Structure formats: C-alpha cells, structure tokens
Structure 1
Amino acid sequence: MFRLRLFLLLLTVGLAAGEAFAQPRIEWEIANRFRLFKQEKQFRKLAEVFAALPAEDRKERPAFAFEDAMQRAAAKGTLGRAFGDRVSIARYGWTSAVTRETCFENGNHGHWKCKLDTGDQFMEPRVADVLARIADLPPALAGQSCRWVAAELTVVAPCATEVRLARRAFDKPFDITVTAANAPVAETRSVRLRHVAIVGFGDSFSSGEGNPDKPVELVDDSPSSYQASSSTNGRPRNYPRRLGGDHQRLGHPYARAIWLNSQCHRSLYSQHVRATLILALAHRDLAVTLTPYSCTGAEVQAGILGYYAARDDEESFYDASPQLMRYWRDYCSSRVGYSRFNNRGRGFDWQSELRDCKERARLKPDAVLLSVGGNDIGFSSVIAEEVVAKGDYGPFTEMLYELWLSQVATKTFDEARQAVRDLIPNRIGELSDAFRRHLDLPSSAIIQTGYPQITRSGGGSSVCQPSDAGMDVHRILAISKDDTGREAATFVPFLNQNIAAAVAALPEGRRWRFVDSHVERFAGHALCTAGAPADAPDRQISGAMQFPTYVGFKKPHHFLWEPFAPSEWRAYRPRNRWFVTPNDAFLTGHYMRVAPIGRGRTPYPPQDKVQPLLAATLGGSFHPNASGHSAIADATIPVLREVLKLPQP
C-alpha cells in the first residue's frame, strides 16, 4: 500500500515536470439520454455508432450520416443482441426493434403513464443514471480497486472499468472524486445533468408518413391479381401478397406495417425524432424528452387545433383529438377534459372548448418543432392532379380521389397558389394565437421547417421529366405533363416563402423561427432519381425504380419476379432518392383497408381493384423517406441548439 501511494506521489511530480504520462481524468455521460426509448441497451448501441462517425460528419450532417451508418450496420447484422434477430433487422431496418420499446403507449393514448427502467416517470424527469470512467489511467492502477464518490453515493470497482452512478438528480450539481488506497486519482467539480423537453406538432411531413418503423411483410408465392385491376405490356398485373393474405383477409396482423402510432402514421424515422435523437447522442450531459404529436393529413384547423381522424379505419386505440389536446393530456397534471378521443361529428371551437390547464405538470417544453401548411392549401390535391391519369378511368379515378383526398376535386398549381395567398396568413395567425395561449414558452423557441424540393432532379433547371419511373405499380399513375416537374420546382419555394412571410408578419414577440436551408439540398435526390451509392448494400434493388413484375415459375413453389422478388425489398437501404415513390409505398407501407368510406357504402374486399392504389398512394408516396427526414433534421439541429443554448460542434 505504501508503494502504491509513493507511486501516485511520484506520478504527480512527474506530470508536473512534463513526463510522458497524461493526467488521469474523469469522463462521464448520462446513460440513456433519449428518454423516448425505454431500453438503455438500445440507446447505448446508437451512441456507439454515432461516436464512430467521422468528426466532420458529426458536425456537418450528423442525422444523415447516423441514419446511413445504422442501416449499413443493420444490413451487416452488427447491431447486436439489443436489437434482436439480426435477419429480421437486416430486412426491416433498425427501428423495427425499437418501436414497441418506446414511451408512447397506444393503450393510454399518450406518454404520461410510461416509466423508464430507472424508475423515473417519463413526464416527470427527476433522475438519470450516469456512466463514468477514468481516462488516461496510469498502468499501475489497471489492476487496482477505485473508490468513486458522487454526493451521497459511493461505488467501489476496478479502476479500469466503467462504473454506474445511479439515479443522479437533474440540475443539482455534484462533485465526483476517485481515490485508490486513500490517495486521490481524479476529480471533477460541479457535474450537472441537463434535461430538455421538446414537443413535435404538424403534418405528414413531420409524422414520418411513408416510413413505417417495421415495413410490411410481403411474400413471393401465390401473387394476387386484384381482379386484374392494372396491366403491363397488355398482361394483367399480378401483385405481391402480404403474408397470410387471400380473398378473405388482407394478411396476418403481425405482417402489416407497424408504426409508432398507426392512426397518424407517426414514425421513429420522422424529422422530429431524428433532430432530437442527434441532440441526445451528441451532448453527453443532456437528456431529451420528446413528445411527438404530428399526424398525417393534419392542418392547422383540422389536426392541430381541431379534431381530425387521419386513418379513420384504425380500430385499436382510436384517437381523433386535436394535437393540442394530446399535448395537454401529457403536460397537464389532470387529464380531465383532455381524453375525448372522438368528437362524433360535432363541431369544435378550440378557443371556447379547449380548456386551459389549471394545474400544469412539473415538465414544461423548452422547444417546439413544427411542420404545417401543405395540407391547408391542398397540396395532395395538386399531386393527384399531376400524377393520376384521367381519360377512360373515370369512376376508378373518382374512387381513388375519394379515398385519397376525401374529395373528388383536384387542384392545379395556379389554384394552389391562390389558396396559399388566401389561407396561409390566417392559418399561421390562428396557430400563433393558440400557441400563445397554450404553450408556456417564448415564440422564438418554436421552429418550423419548410417543405423540400420534390422534383428538382439536379442543378440549375433540371427537373423530373414525364415518366412512370417509380410509379409503374399501376397504369393510372405517372408524371404525364411536360411542365409538372418545373411547376413543382417553382411552387415549393413559393409556398415556403409565403409561410415565412406569414410568420414574419406576426406581432413582435409572437414570431417563431422558419428553417428552409434544407430545401434545395434535395436537388439531385428527387422523386424520379434512380440508383444508390456504389458501396450501398443491395444497391441494385434499393436503387431500382421498377415495380416487381411476376413472370411465372420454373417449378412448383419457385415463383419468378423481375427485376427483383418482393421479399428482397429493403425499405431503408441507402439510396439516391430522398422521397417515397408509389412503388416504394406499396412495398413498404402497403396501407390497405376494408372499411367503407361514408355511410351506406359497401366494404372494400381484400381483392378489390382499388387496393393496389391505396397501397401505392395512402402508403406515403411523395413524402420524404428516411434519408430525406435526416436531411431536414440536419437543417433543424443548429437552430435547435441555438434555442436550447447548447454549444455548436
């Protein structure tokens, strides 16, 4: 013992004299910094992948580089036991192992009931476990035992191992000291665990539409004809079948796509999840609580402030309540008045009926992420006008419009521009009023993202040309007009500029931040962009624009498809396009329904001719894919850091 103390003394003297040994120091981090994930072991693997990224990537494009690295790791099967079966993860992507281990619980329609493995309530963050280690440990201490003291907590462990300092309180500074044989080894003063709460509101461009956490399971055998609803080269189209699907049912329940929230098509691939996850990965002293509420199809009035059913055929845990009501269900200490999930056709005035919370919960938001405006002006109606063929498909087209748009009218670009002028200023103003009344944070802490370019295929004036590339899932879908690509490329900045102007026109003190630095980054990654990076796994399949076509079989139970079999599709491999095509939507989300639309209508059988179109359009086509969401998140992260007063890398 005397020799050890003497060694430490000589070591200290040697260091002071500039010897080769570095001074031992304590490194520490919060163990699970993204509290939406209940499983610490899964976050630890994510942190390992993020830490291995090149420093330039972590600085300039952290979300995009992280997503690329995670999907490559999933393809190689190197994510480990925390992510379960490696074959399943390789096929479905890494979030398929995480989505059922989060603090969003359908059963209680929110996050408020969840408890983390530390015993901490999700909506009442008080403590977190800290992992600590000694960096530059002197060789003489490698086999010795060290005593760690953190406030009232004492841990004794081998000096060379990482220790867990359990249940350390947020925002209560404490010191950490390490000794060996009663001699000091290292210390760090005023350790402080930070916590931030971030709320996500918005539409399908922030819910993650088109990117289910676990894609559908399609099989190669017994392809379905759907009553020969489409044709290729004059032959009836045979479509891939969901596992267990036949003329009586859509398929096994476990074979359908799985979402964080199936009614809203809310996904862990969304830009809001990605931006906040990167904050948690990059800042080791910061724990992040994200409560996402975005919902596909949402508008300001129908969705954020008013009732909106989204996928109205969702039977389990149905919830059509406004996003602001869902917010109070989590952030108010009493849920009385916030658990009316269905308005049953009655009108709803948020100003008089959305009650103010009398007793706010301990947790308050530090920032709000927002994406809204596209549905308010009917952008999906413009897409339908541009990519759905008319002609001799009259009744069939009308059926699609009614299911896709809940209407039979489409909009031209000129009509959409007029809708932008007429509606956007008032909708932004109304939303500002609601946020001022219901959100306990400054407007400058609200960050809205603009909509990305969808048809700009390259630099300059390059745009997507007339083609059915990525849309040959059905003969009714294609870019058929010469000016569609150009019109879309000019409409997107027009919409963004008008949203930004409406925000800037708000009274002083009520203006929020508008981010659009990502918009033109999508040039060259448009809806029509084929191919994948040369080193991407399964690049020939993931970069393909053709829909798989059934061409027969060589022998029984050996079915042939071109250019690839449906079971070989990998939804989240790196690819050049950053949007979900109709082909992608069919193969990934495969949204189908048997429930009728409106009263007095008959159900749609599993083999009805409309089902392939529902799978191709309501499955999230024309939305950003996982890479696109990551690119938007990268534009959001620096602004979010500024709002939260976090250091930039």
Structure 2
Amino acid sequence: MAFGMRLVFSGIVAALVASGATAAPDYRIDWEITNRFGPFEALNLPSAVFQEYRLREEDGGFDGWHARLDRRPGGMKSPYADAIRSGAPLHWDPIRQLHSPRVTRFVKHEKDPQTTVSARFRLTVEGEDPLAEGAMCMWEGGAPQPCDAPFDTRVPLRGSFVSVEVGGETVLAWIKPEHMVIVGVGDSYSSGEGNPDLPAEWKPLRFPNSNDIGWLAERRSQFLEPGPDRRWIDNTCHRSFFSYQGLTALRLASEDPHRFVSFLHYSCSGAEIFDGLIFPQRRVIEEGSDGPVWLRYAQVNAVVQDLCAGGLSQNPRHRAHPDYFPVTDEELGGLSIRDFERTYRGTELAPGGRSEPWMRPAREAGGISRSYPHDGLMDCDELRVPDHVFLSIGGNDVAFGEMVRYYILPVDYEDSWLKSIAAPAVCPPPVYQADKRLHPAAYARCARLRGANGYDAMDLLTGTERNGQLVGGIDQRFSLAVSILKHRLGVPAEAISMAQYPDPLRTVPPVTPPCARLRYTDQVVYGAQSDTYDDLSAWNGIDEATRVISWTKQWEYVVTEEEAWKALDFFDTFRVRLADTAQELGISFVCETRDAFVGHGWWTGEHLALPHLVPQGRPGHWNIEDLDPYGYRVAGRAIRTANDSVLIQPSLVRVATRNTSVSGTFHPNFFGHRLVAEGFYQSLFGGEAPED
C-alpha cells in the first residue's frame, strides 16, 4: 500500500510483511452501541442515561434492576421525568398524535448514511507482538489518541467500515448494528395507566385525629406541591415508561451491545379492538376539555404512518379520504363487520361509511386535527416491517372494568349523584350479579341496562345470537384484530406477542396448566367484609371522584370474597377463550403471566388505607410524605388500589365526569409491570421464567 502501510481486517491478517513470513499482530476492533434504546437516543439523552437504566447481567432480571435503580439518590423515577417537568418535547408528539421524527427517522430512514447511532470503539491485539505501551492510534474522523483509550463516534445504522491507523498499519472492520423495531399496541394494561412518569408530589401534612376524607376529596389542591400536574409521556392515553411493553423492549436493547431497539408505543387507556386498535378511539377524556375527544388515528393507522418510509398509499376511489382504504375480504376472513357493532353501531372500516358523520364535529373543531379522524385503514408500499408487535387487548371489549366497578361500589346505592357518575355502564350476567332476592334494586337496574344496551358482559365475551349462531364474541374480535395487524404491518403471526392478563384476586398458586381453565380449588380468593364503613379500606379513594360535599354519605367500597370469586370466574372464562383463539391464530401468546400476581394481591403490602385517616398509634396510620410510587419492595401488591390511584395521579379537574384520579384502579403498579415483563421476556426470549 501507499506509504508502506499494511491493511489488516479486524481479526484477520490481510497482508504480511513484504520481507519474510512474520505474521502481523492480530488486531481487533471491539465495539458497542452506547445508547441502544431509540427513545433515549431520539431525545439526545446522554449515553450515561442508557448505561444507568439498562439491565445488567449482575442485576439478574427486573427485580435486581429495580433494586439497583432505587438505591440512587432520589430513588426510582422515569428517565423522562425531568424532561416532562421542564416542558421539553418528548419522543411522542401529542398534537400530531404520532411519534416525533426524531425517533421515527431510525425506522423510516434506517438505510440513509446520515441516520447514525452513538458507538464506542476499542482496539485490542493478540499474538506474539502485543501493542506497545503508549502506542498512538488514529481513528478515522478523530485525532491521534492513546490506543488503549476508547473512541466515541457515530456510525450509520445501515452499517459501515471503521478504520484505525496503528504502527504504520490500517485496521479495518465492518460494523453493522442489529436494528430491532418493536411496536407496542393495546389497552391500559400495557399503556402504563396508574403509573405517571411524573407522579403527584404532596406537601408534608399532619392530621393526627382525622378520619375525614375531605382534605383529599375537596381540598387536595391546597396540599399538592406547586408545579406540573401528574404527567405521562402522553396524557391523553396515560402512556408511560412504566409499562411492561417498554420494559421488555429496554431489556432487549440491554442484552446485546450491537443491537439498537426502536420502540414505538401506542397503547392507550380505554382501548378496545374496534374503539382504539382498528378504529379511532372516542372513549378518551382529555382533562380540561368540554367532553369526549377522538384520537386522530386508530392505533394500527398511527403505526403505519410511523413505519412508512415513503408516502402513504393513495386510494383513487375516495378523493375526500385518499389515505384510507376499506378493510379487505382477506382481512375479514368471512366475518361480517356488522356482527361487531357495539359502541358505534355504524362503522364499516371503510372511508365515507356510516360512522363518518359521528366524527364530523371533531374535524370541524379546526386546528391541526381538522382532517381527522376518519374511518378506514391506511396502507404503505414502503413499510418498515416491525420485528415484534407487542399486543394487549380484549379486557375492555368484555367490559371487565365495568364489572370491577359493579363489585367495588355498594350494591344498593340510592344516591342519584353517585349513580350518575359511578354506576357501571355494563353489568355482569345475571349469574354473576348480586342475589336478586336480597338486592332487587340492583337486579332491576342491570335488567334496564341490558335492555338499553342489548347486551351484558357475557354477551360481549361469547357473542350474541344471530341466525342461530353466536357472532361478535371476543374470539372473532381478536381474530379480526390479528388479521388486520398481519396484513397492514406485514408481520407473520409469530411476530405478534401477547401476555395473558394476570389477576390480583387469587391467594394460592394454581395446579392447572397456565393456558387451561382454573379448577375450583385454584379459585381461592381474598375478600373484605361489607357490614360497616371501614376506614382501612383500600377503595375509599373512590370518594375523591364521587364526593362533592363534605356531608355526603360514607359509602362502603369493598370487594367481598363472593364478589372476588365471581369476577375471577368470569375473567377466567375470558382468559381461556383468549388463549385458545391466540393459539389457533399462531401468535406468540404467553399464558404464564396469568399467575404473575399470585401472592401479590390488592390486600397485600403497606399503606393500604389513605394517609391521615387512621389516628396515630393505630395500625394502618401513615403520613403522605411516606408515599413512594416506584420504590423497590421485596413483596407487596402488584396493582393500584383506588387509594393508590388518587394519591399518585390526582386530577385537578373538579368536574367529576372527567375525573381520572381513580382510572388507575385495578391496573398494574410498577411492581406488577415488572412481574409481567419478567414472565413475558423469559417466555419469549430467555427460556423458562424463574420461580417467584
């Protein structure tokens, strides 16, 4: 070569000294991506942030990882908390309701040489002629530096050659990051509901002899620290860092130094298969608004836009809505859209359909959203097919949240205000309702609801009869969702992964296989008494949403053993049907997470009662300054109680119908997401899940 230099490929001697047969030292270029998680890199967070938050081998999994991060000054917190507190833009654009170009550039333009990621290189040598002490190296694009020092630079995501000059030789290596694209879609169990990135901060309080909830229900704004209200990455969907989908993606980025993970998160609280996943979600309450708002896009359409490297495909048959196409017969697989009508009674999954007038007011509101939402599905000819789709859906489709509300609230409440803002919109089937002879008013109310809706929760699960067949059940809804994800995102069924819903009701581990129905002996549950008002109840925080004046009656918010058994039996019926359908469809379904919360029920752990409601010296008393939403616990509950929710995500909006303080109730807390993430990861990527 020119100037007498030799070319040595990393790990392979490409040339020998011209005189004689002496081999050159075996130079190697070791390298790693220093910021391997797409959202961190998109926000230009220092590589040290990823190095701190990544899971390390010595952590031994999410448990040790959480314990390590909680030992830091300030404890465990979201890596996005500081940016949210300062008002800095995040990787999610709440106006466009899509991911920021700063994060989608890795997906849309991964073959562009200008799309780079941070990397660190080191030169090592083996053989009889080791690198001389104090030797200097010249890395391409850098200045001379000691060879034993790391070299930090950026490399194209598509791969490139990297070279370094040392001792008159040029060492050349091909560097190709593994780019893994992960999409997370679904409902509140995967969005992070109940776990805001920036939880509420309370002033120190002392009420030594108060058992009155008034300080929380009516005057809580006086006791909150000034500054931003509780915040998520996306406030509309309550989407946060503390989600098992994101935690799993972070672990996949952590385990391979040559891997870069683009994680795109779309899960939204309240999402159903139709109302959210494949149709724009309307059942979203944006605090401070005058009522319900629509999301601009169905989740699947948002994914298509963020993964589309070129322009969206255009539909010449619909000039008014050229970005939208009707659902195809192949996607329907013989199903009829009208078999699924519930919320809208009009969607055809086609542009210009019967549902369009429903969405017109949202479009006419002006601003950037004036052209949205619309019915129909988007398509793209240059789509970057995701490597994994993490899915969590179905619970809202069978109205499980409404059933939980039915059981927590008093059975025979007569207060008209409580009825109007807290009564469930869907009742359990009669076999799971309160005894008709003991509670005739409750039974009559559910009968009226079923007449008005045309269904109860069991109808939503099994379907309703039409022409002698059951149609529109969760198995058919789920099949349609998977079919649309496969066709619109181009993924095979096995690339779609879903964790089974866990429950916090059982007290003993089951003996049945995780995909099978629980035996009667497995259904051992915990229940509270319902005779009198209990100031230790974990559910009294519901008063924060329902109580408007201090003399309102103290209601008995409890889950009794009988109610817990009924809820579990219904939910187990749902879970088995979901698991059976998933296996028929060939998706990667993790049944093992069904049992993730056994031993971590809602009645376990500390701080069950609200603070300051139990006098000092009595069991259950604690002070608000002891609240630690994401602190490490060896054991405890895996879900948010109503009390947890109103303390961690209190709403400052006093219109009760838009109060989301209690929306975190019965959702996984960070401990719960950690448990699901561990089982999800181990089953899909790491072998068998460890014993709890």
Per the normalisation by structure 2, the TM-score is 0.68
Distance apart, 1:624 and its partner CA: 0.7
Confirm whether residue 400 of structure 1 aligns to residue 421 of structure 2. Answer: yes
Amino acid paired to 2:461: V
Distance apart, 1:548 and its partner CA: 0.4
Confirm whether residue 574 of structure 1 aligns to residue 624 of structure 2. Answer: no
The alignment partner of 2:600 has SS state of coil
Distance apart, 1:292 and its partner CA: 1.1
* Correspondence for 1:205 among 182, 189, 194: 189
Amino acid paired to 1:549: H
The answer to whether the 8 Å contact 1:199/1:291 transfers is yes
Distance apart, 1:39 and its partner CA: 4.0
The answer to whether the 8 Å contact 2:157/2:177 transfers is yes
**In structure 2, distance between residues paired with 1:104 and 1:242:** 33
1:66 aligns with: 65
* Correspondence for 1:35 among 30, 33, 38: 38
Amino acid paired to 2:587: W
* Correspondence for 1:470 among 533, 538, 544: 538
* Correspondence for 2:675 among 631, 636, 639: 631
**In structure 1, distance between residues paired with 2:682 and 2:210:** 53
Distance apart, 1:122 and its partner CA: 6.0
1:300 aligns with: 273
Distance apart, 1:477 and its partner CA: 5.4
Deviations 1:2-60 (A, max 9, x none): xxxxxxxxxxxxxxxxxxxx9875431112211112345455334245465526x1xxx
Q: Of the two, which has the highest radius of gyration?
A: 2
In structure 2, list runs of 5 or more residues that go unmatched. Answer: 1-24, 315-320, 325-342, 353-374, 433-455, 464-472, 511-521, 530-535, 544-553, 688-692
579 and 158 in structure 1: CA distance in 2 versus 1, 3 angstrom threshold: same
2:167 aligns with: 181
2:136 aligns with: 145
**In structure 1, distance between residues paired with 2:417 and 2:209:** 20
1:379 aligns with: 400
Deviations 1:65-105 (A, max 9, x none): 323322332xxx1xxxxxxxxxxx54855542355564112
The percentage of counterpart residues that share the same residue type is 21
Distance apart, 1:264 and its partner CA: 0.8
1:442 aligns with: 492
**In structure 1, distance between residues paired with 2:295 and 2:226:** 20
The answer to whether the 8 Å contact 1:195/1:287 transfers is yes
**In structure 2, distance between residues paired with 1:346 and 1:427:** 15
**In structure 1, distance between residues paired with 2:296 and 2:75:** 34
Distance apart, 1:592 and its partner CA: 5.2
Number of matched residues? Answer: 540
**In structure 1, distance between residues paired with 2:99 and 2:252:** 20
**In structure 2, distance between residues paired with 1:209 and 1:587:** 14
* Correspondence for 2:609 among 541, 546, 561: 546
Confirm whether residue 236 of structure 1 aligns to residue 212 of structure 2. Answer: yes
The answer to whether the 8 Å contact 1:173/1:190 transfers is yes
* Correspondence for 2:665 among 607, 621, 624: 621
**In structure 2, distance between residues paired with 1:520 and 1:64:** 17
**In structure 1, distance between residues paired with 2:169 and 2:173:** 18
**In structure 1, distance between residues paired with 2:75 and 2:204:** 18
Confirm whether residue 452 of structure 1 aligns to residue 456 of structure 2. Answer: no
Confirm whether residue 321 of structure 1 aligns to residue 308 of structure 2. Answer: no
Amino acid paired to 1:36: P
1:127 aligns with: 116
**In structure 2, distance between residues paired with 1:408 and 1:202:** 21
**In structure 2, distance between residues paired with 1:488 and 1:23:** 66
Amino acid paired to 1:523: V
**In structure 2, distance between residues paired with 1:111 and 1:215:** 23
1:482 aligns with: 561
357 and 325 in structure 1: CA distance in 2 versus 1, 3 angstrom threshold: closer
The answer to whether the 8 Å contact 2:399/2:426 transfers is no
Deviations 1:114-162 (A, max 9, x none): 369xxx556433322211234689997564422235xxx5553222322
Per the normalisation by structure 1, the TM-score is 0.72
Q: Report the more deviating stretch, 269-278 or 302-311.
A: 302-311
1:194 aligns with: 178
Distance apart, 1:294 and its partner CA: 0.8
The answer to whether the 8 Å contact 2:69/2:75 transfers is no
408 and 456 in structure 1: CA distance in 2 versus 1, 3 angstrom threshold: closer
Q: Report the more deviating stretch, 92-101 or 375-384.
A: 92-101
Amino acid paired to 2:645: A
Amino acid paired to 1:107: I
**In structure 1, distance between residues paired with 2:569 and 2:560:** 15
The answer to whether the 8 Å contact 2:323/2:378 transfers is no
* Correspondence for 2:411 among 390, 397, 410: 390
Distance apart, 1:504 and its partner CA: 3.1
* Correspondence for 2:147 among 150, 154, 159: 159
The alignment partner of 1:369 has SS state of strand
2:449 aligns with: none
* Correspondence for 1:108 among 77, 96, 106: 96
**In structure 2, distance between residues paired with 1:500 and 1:480:** 27
Deviations 1:283-340 (A, max 9, x none): 1111111111111111111111122234323458973532122223323344695999
The answer to whether the 8 Å contact 1:263/1:310 transfers is no
The answer to whether the 8 Å contact 1:329/1:339 transfers is no
Q: Report the more deviating stretch, 302-311 or 487-496.
A: 487-496
The alignment partner of 2:221 has SS state of coil
Kindly report which structure 2 residues correspond to 1:230-309, keeping only aligned pairs within 5 A, or say none.
236-240=212-216, 245=221, 254-309=227-282
**In structure 1, distance between residues paired with 2:30 and 2:275:** 48
The alignment partner of 1:384 has SS state of helix
570 and 136 in structure 1: CA distance in 2 versus 1, 3 angstrom threshold: farther
Confirm whether residue 586 of structure 1 aligns to residue 646 of structure 2. Answer: yes
1:526 aligns with: 601
2:201 aligns with: 217
Amino acid paired to 2:398: I
1:47 aligns with: 51
The answer to whether the 8 Å contact 1:196/1:288 transfers is yes
**In structure 1, distance between residues paired with 2:377 and 2:404:** 38
Deviations 1:575-610 (A, max 9, x none): 32111111110111123534575xxxxxx8xxxxxx
The answer to whether the 8 Å contact 2:54/2:250 transfers is no
1:540 aligns with: none
The alignment partner of 1:302 has SS state of coil
Distance apart, 1:350 and its partner CA: 1.9
The answer to whether the 8 Å contact 1:266/1:294 transfers is yes
Distance apart, 1:490 and its partner CA: 4.2
* Correspondence for 1:515 among 578, 582, 590: 590
The answer to whether the 8 Å contact 2:403/2:426 transfers is no
2:159 aligns with: 172
**In structure 2, distance between residues paired with 1:377 and 1:244:** 34
577 and 626 in structure 1: CA distance in 2 versus 1, 3 angstrom threshold: same
566 and 376 in structure 1: CA distance in 2 versus 1, 3 angstrom threshold: same
Q: CA RMSD in A?
A: 4.0
Amino acid paired to 1:133: R
**In structure 2, distance between residues paired with 1:550 and 1:220:** 15
In structure 1, list runs of 5 or more residues that go unmatched. Answer: 1-21, 78-88, 224-231, 531-542, 554-560, 598-603, 605-610, 644-649
Distance apart, 1:568 and its partner CA: 3.1
Distance apart, 1:243 and its partner CA: 9.8
Amino acid paired to 2:166: A
Q: Report the more deviating stretch, 132-141 or 497-506.
A: 132-141
